[in-house]
Each structure stands twice: as C-alpha cells, then as structure tokens.
C-alpha cells in the first residue's frame, strides 16, 4: 500500500535538486579539516512547496513571509545545514536546510530557509 502511495507522490516531483555539504579532508601536512560546498548528491527528483504565512506588522509596514518545504524520497539523506539547489519550473535557486526533517514512509519534508541566494 505504501509503495503505491509513494510512486503516486513521486510522480508529482517536477523539480530536481543538488545537495551540497561538507567533507573531511587531509592536507599535504596531515592536517584534517572540513571542506564546505561539496556536491553530495545531484539531480534528485523533488517538489518545492511554498506556504504563505500571515503578514507580520513591523512598525508601519507589513512583512510577508512564507514557509518553503522540499519533498523528497525518504531514501535520500540530507545533512542538517546543507545547501540545497533546486530547479523547478525552469528556475534555479539555492536554499539552506534549516529544520527537522519530517520523515514518512512515502516521502520526507524538509523545511528550507526562506532567505535564499540567487
């Protein structure tokens, strides 16, 4: 039952994403350090969803915010604080993985930072 539901959900994945993280490396002097921005996984089917939140009033102005959620296969491991580049509907943007992963049998949902680099 869950396999069928998972296959149907994955048919809605209209985007692709690349996941960038850190890796340990040892330099020529034998010093171990972390290298950031390393491509961990690429070309992963996904779906990016935007949910508008109520406008927050700050002083005389309202600030509109949104929650951005990435839907992926539950088989994909996404490290916390990784950078995720998503291409959907011909637009490519980078986001930060910013919260706990909601893991289900059919998919996972990852909250992304709404402040993104373009």
For tokens 């490290």, the residue is 79
For 31-67, write each residue's pLDDT tens digit: 888 888 899 999 999 999 988 766 666 677 766 677 8
- The answer to whether the beta carbons of residues 18 and 43 sit under 8 Å apart is yes
User: pTM (2 decimals)?
Assistant: 0.79
Task: State the Cα–Cα distance between residues 3 and 5, nearest whole angstrom.
Answer: 5
Q: Which residue has the higher pLDDT, 76 or 116?
A: 76
| Alpha helices (runs of H) in the chain, residue ranges in sequence order | 2-10
Task: State the Cα–Cα distance between residues 38 and 43, nearest whole angstrom.
Answer: 14
For tokens 């491991």, the residue is 77
pLDDT value, residue 114: 62
Q: Residue 91 has which token pair?
A: 């637009």
Q: Could you name the CATH architecture of 2-112?
A: Beta Barrel (2.40)
As to burial, measured by CB atoms within 10 angstroms (0-12 exposed, 13-18 middle, 19+ buried), residue 76 is middle
Q: How confident is the model at residue 116 (pLDDT cuts 50, 70, 90)?
A: very low
């Amino acid at each position: 039952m869950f396999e069928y539901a998972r296959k149907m959900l994955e048919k809605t994945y209209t985007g692709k994403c690349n996941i960038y993280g850190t890796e340990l490396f040892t330099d020529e002097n034998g010093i171990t350090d972390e290298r950031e921005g390393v491509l961990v996984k690429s070309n992963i089917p996904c779906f990016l969803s935007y949910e508008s939140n109520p406008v927050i009033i700050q002083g005389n102005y309202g600030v509109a915010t949104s929650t951005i959620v990435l839907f992926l296969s539950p088989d994909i491991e996404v490290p916390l604080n990784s950078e995720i580049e998503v291409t959907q509907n011909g637009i490519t943007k980078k986001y930060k993985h910013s919260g706990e992963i909601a893991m289900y049998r059919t998919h996972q949902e990852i909250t992304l930072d709404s402040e993104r680099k373009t």
